[in-house]
Amino acid sequence: MPVLSYSYLAVLVPIFLLTDYLRYKPVLLLQSLSYIAVWLLLLFGDSLLHMQFMEFFYSLTMASRIAYSSYIFSLVRPAQYQRMAGYSRTAVLLGVFTSSVLGQLLVTVGRFSFTTLHYISLAFLTFSLVLTIFLKRPKRSLFFNRIKPAHGDASPSELDQMHPGPGQSTGKELSRTLLVGWWDCILVRMLRELGDSLRLPQLRLWSLWWIFNSAGYYLIVFYVHILWNVVDPTKDTTKVYNGGTDAASTLLGAITAFAAGFVKIRWALWAKLIIGGVTAVQGGLVYLMYSTSSIWLCYVAFVLFRGFYQFLVPIAIFQIASSLSKELCALVFGINTFLATVLKTIITLIVSDKRGLGLLVRSQFLVYFMYFMVLSIAYFLGAVLGILWHFRWGHHQPLPLAQELKSPLEEKATQVQSLQDGALSSLQPEATTLALEDSVWASGPVLKEQPEAKA
């Protein structure tokens, strides 16, 4: 039974809620401790139950990644989101690259045992725990740690109870108070924020990419080592280059992730086309892994597959984060990751679990190839429809020029200031029409679409 997939699904929502309630840092500490537990079980576990616990703790580390993403964006200004997404992703991938190269050299050249590698990894994880302890903890978060009213200020519901209006009974006021309390509760407020955020088209697109493509990506990553063992079932560990392949794939991913931080194109127009092209190429690489009998071709296909995915990840993070306030990022990232996990678990249950089809690993990769091709067709259709609509109805309205990204609160202040300026200028009769047009143009695009950079 794939304990990792099921336990990851079970702990993801609680970890997400704890991330906001505990303000990020405790969840980062939990991630470090869970990593240490994983390696302790690898070193000293000797039963199936121990390995199942190891997969459970590893699912905790995966679920806690949401705290890392949210914590990073809580420290920087919105104008730095794209570059910060590239930097943080590059740092993660370079860490994986370094560990993969070191592990491959120690096994192939130094002929170290896997047990020794586990001890080295445990030492690095202990050091990372020490670093986590010294991280700065934010004072506020979105839902559980908002700024409270000033001391002595009464809430509207309290004032209404003290001074009921004419013609209103105490029973009605009590019902109204309960309704206001329900409307402001944590869960309802989260759902309201989610509904508001889904109105942004770019946020919807990149969230869908995160859900569907991340599910396919992790299915490949989880089962590719089993496929490599089928393609080349050697017993000599010095001739196994899985670690080198992981190193090459993460290095390429780090390079593409870093480059993505500097890409400036009109994502509102070309995003679907680029996503569709990348997804189609990934589908072709999955088919190559399925059909080839050469382990080296399989290695190359996986390296390229991972590099294409890592190129789009920081762009997706930037597009999502720049559409939201800093605090709301955790909500959207958490929901996207949860839905991706649900989808991956459903596919795992149907395709690889013995209670489903129970397909062999090669047959699984054929299913994954068809999955990516269906996604690419859907993206291409959306891109064609979007481009046709733009050039038929929207060609006379140019996309906004590149400008500094602002948080939604700053954008709202800008809109209010623009409307106030328009109202003041309307005092001059000869400039009334022009002032109103300028105020609408200044506030409209900020609400509907995030600023895009020219190609």
* 24-28, 204-208, 312-316, 429-433: least confidently modelled range: 429-433
pLDDT number for residue 341 = 83
Tokens of 345: 């678990």
Taking only the tens place, the pLDDT of each residue in 345-362 is 899 889 988 888 888 999
Tell me: pLDDT of 127 over 90.
yes
CA torsion sign, 14 to 20 to 26 to 29? positive
% of residues, the chain, pLDDT over 70: 70
* 22-31, 97-106, 159-168: least confidently modelled range: 159-168
pLDDT averaged over every residue in the chain: 74
Most confident of 161-175, 338-352, 379-393: 338-352
- Side chain identity, residue 111: R
Tell me: pLDDT of 366 over 90.
yes
Tokens of 37: 């537990």
* 250-254, 269-273, 342-346, 450-454: least confidently modelled range: 450-454
* 87-101, 212-226, 308-322: least confidently modelled range: 87-101
- 271: which residues sit within 8 A by CB, 6+ positions away? 202, 205, 206, 319
pLDDT number for residue 336 = 85
DSSP string, 364-432: HHHHHHHHHHHHHHHHHHHHHHHHHHHHHHSTTSPPPPP-----HHHHHHHHHHHHHHHHHHTTSGGGH
pLDDT number for residue 36 = 94
Taking only the tens place, the pLDDT of each residue in 52-66 is 899 899 888 888 887
Most confident of 11-15, 42-46, 71-75: 42-46
pLDDT band for 185, please (50, 70, 90 cuts). low
Q: In terms of Cα–Cα distance, which of 169, 173, 189, 213 is closest to 337?
A: 213
Tell me: pLDDT of 2 over 60.
yes
d(CA 438, CA 145): 38
d(CA 132, CA 128): 6
* 10-24, 256-270, 386-400: least confidently modelled range: 386-400
Over residues 97-124, the mean pLDDT reads 85
Most confident of 205-219, 332-346, 399-413: 205-219
pLDDT band for 264, please (50, 70, 90 cuts). confident
pTM of this structure: 0.66
pLDDT number for residue 3 = 77
Taking only the tens place, the pLDDT of each residue in 281-307 is 999 999 999 999 999 999 999 999 998
Over residues 267-288, the mean pLDDT reads 91
Tell me: pLDDT of 34 over 80.
yes
pLDDT number for residue 342 = 87
- 132: which residues sit within 8 A by CB, 6+ positions away? 25, 28, 29, 31, 32
45 contacts 58 by C-beta, under 8 angstroms: no
